[in-house]
Amino acid sequence: MRALEFVKMHGNGNDFVIIDETEKVAIKNKSSFAIKTCDRRFGIGADGVLFVSRPAGADLGMRLLQPDGSEAEMCGNGIRCLVMYAVDAGYVKRGRMTVKTKAGVREITAKRSSVVVDMGKPRFARPAIPALGTGDQFIENMHGVVVSAVNTGVPHAVIFDDQVDDDVHDLAVKIRFDPVFPLGANVDFVKVDGNTLAVRTYERGVERETLSCGTGAVAAVAVANQMGLIGTRVTVKTLGGPLKVTLRKDRALMEGPAETVYKGTYFLKKVKRRRVPDP
């Protein structure tokens, strides 16, 4: 049995187990490890496992393995947690730094109680049926609702609908697995209130609604701004708390907290391989 140190952190209730791989690879089979670790009854319990490293070409490296064993390209809440962990560990100082993700290198500014993430430029990559008269990023009448497709590091399907106050699970699952999204998509339900958005997100890989989604907050703001519904500085209310999103010409900035929940030791059991006798 091998002991592995870990830290549990969350960004607005979107929680992660952090494994430090700055000196050496701690986990070889990351997919299997994430499935076991994220289980909320038989493991630590989390929306994902973050592996922090020190790669060439960036101050920090981040990999995110999800509860179903898949790897996500990017995570807005997760990257804030990883940065705060690295600050607390002394790997980097507060201020500007870079983090390498599967979605590219992200520029980060770590403040005392929050982290600002340069999320890059939201990409409206899919051609679709124009709806609501504002461009070509909209998919009309998918499962009875108008869907806007945008990528903010991971693919998102954004819906402006009063169902933000209702049970969104069944509809979210249909859209998340719709073949129009070959890689799947996070599904965001959005309500506009002045220059504030209320957003609920069903996350692929987690396969349920989470308390907050950083890439989803940026996706919702990007679409709402394209539609002329809000300005460029927006507060996004998630179930786990608020995020601040600022749109600029060539990128979106997202700011929010990251907090340590606890530190612990995870014991890895060695699996004995038994020789199966020939029939």
**Is 196 within 8 Å of 237 (Cβ atoms)?**
yes
Integer Cα distance of 84 and 241 in angstroms = 18
What is the three-state SS of 89-133?
Answer: HCCCCCEEEEEEECCEEEEEEECCCCEEEECCCCECCCCCCCCCC
Token readout for 22 is 């700055």
The residue type at 145: V
Q: Look at residues 261, 271, 253, 10 and name the one whose alpha carbon lies nearest to residue 119.
A: 253
Which residue among 7, 17, 44, 75 is the active-site one? Answer: 75
Helix%, strand%, coil% for the chain, nearest 5: 15, 40, 40
3-state SS assignment for residue 237: strand
Is 81 a residue of the active site?
A: no
Question: Which whole-number Å values give the CA distances from 13 to 10, 62, 96, in the listed order?
Answer: 5, 19, 25
Token readout for 160 is 């402006």
Which residue among 17, 171, 206, 213 is the active-site one? Answer: 213
Catalytic residues: 75, 213
